[in-house]
């Protein structure tokens, strides 16, 4: 493989420079097809892929597209690789659409949201039940203290009989 790349170097006798000179479109098409084959091999699309794997692969392709755009290579090389990467990304996007992954993600998020809401509701219910128990305890304490105060006042009032003034 390495020898093949070296042999195809445009500067080597018998390399692609001859095609570049006499059939540049054909040479560029061959290079593009090699780039497509390279990305098809690097990013294999399988029938059994799940939505998360497809999403992760699209993210990796996006990063490779950014790296390619900032690679500093010649414009024609950047354009060729960008086209090949974008076409491979579209393959994964079509698989995403075929599996209806967007709806699945929305359903998962809705289920997670509902679960969180239910959890918060349950926590609120528990706090409310605890508060009611505490309120009953406070009510009983207040009634006990009130009864004690009334009892003390009544006891003091009964013990201390008003003295009647002596009539003379």
Mean pLDDT by 10 residues, the chain (168 residues): 51 56 76 90 87 90 89 84 90 88 84 86 82 73 85 81 60
Calculate the alpha carbon distances from 65 to 26, 51, 87, 103, 154 in Å: 24, 21, 11, 26, 91
pLDDT at 114: 84
pLDDT at 76: 82
pLDDT at 37: 92
pTM for the whole thing? 0.54
Per residue in 13-37, pLDDT tens?
Answer: 555 555 666 677 887 888 889 999 9
Sequence-distant (≥ 6) Cβ neighbours of residue 58 within 8 angstroms: 89, 92, 93, 96
Q: Which helix (H) or strand (E) segment is 81 a member of?
A: helix 75-98
Structure tokens at 96: 């995403």
Q: Supply angle C-alpha 65, 71, 77, rounded to 5.
A: 80
pLDDT at 13: 54
What is the three-class DSSP state of 1?
A: coil
- Which residue, 112, 103, 101, 113, is CA-closest to 56? 101
């Amino acid at each position: 493989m390495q020898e093949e790349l070296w042999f195809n170097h445009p500067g080597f006798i018998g390399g692609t420079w001859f095609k570049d000179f006499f059939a540049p479109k054909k040479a560029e098409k061959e290079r593009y097809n090699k780039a497509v084959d390279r990305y098809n091999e690097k990013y294999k699309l399988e029938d059994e892929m799940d939505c998360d794997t497809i999403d992760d692969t699209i993210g990796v392709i996006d990063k490779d597209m950014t790296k390619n755009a900032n690679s500093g290579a010649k414009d024609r090389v950047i354009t060729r690789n960008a086209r090949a990467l974008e076409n491979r990304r579209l393959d994964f996007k079509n698989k995403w659409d075929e599996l209806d992954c967007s709806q699945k993600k929305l359903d998962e998020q809705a289920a997670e949201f509902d679960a969180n809401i239910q959890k918060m509701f349950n926590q609120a219910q528990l706090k409310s039940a605890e508060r009611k128990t505490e309120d009953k305890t406070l009510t009983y304490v207040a009634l006990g203290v009130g009864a004690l105060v009334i009892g003390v006042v009544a006891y003091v009032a009964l013990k201390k009989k008003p003295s009647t003034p002596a009539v003379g």
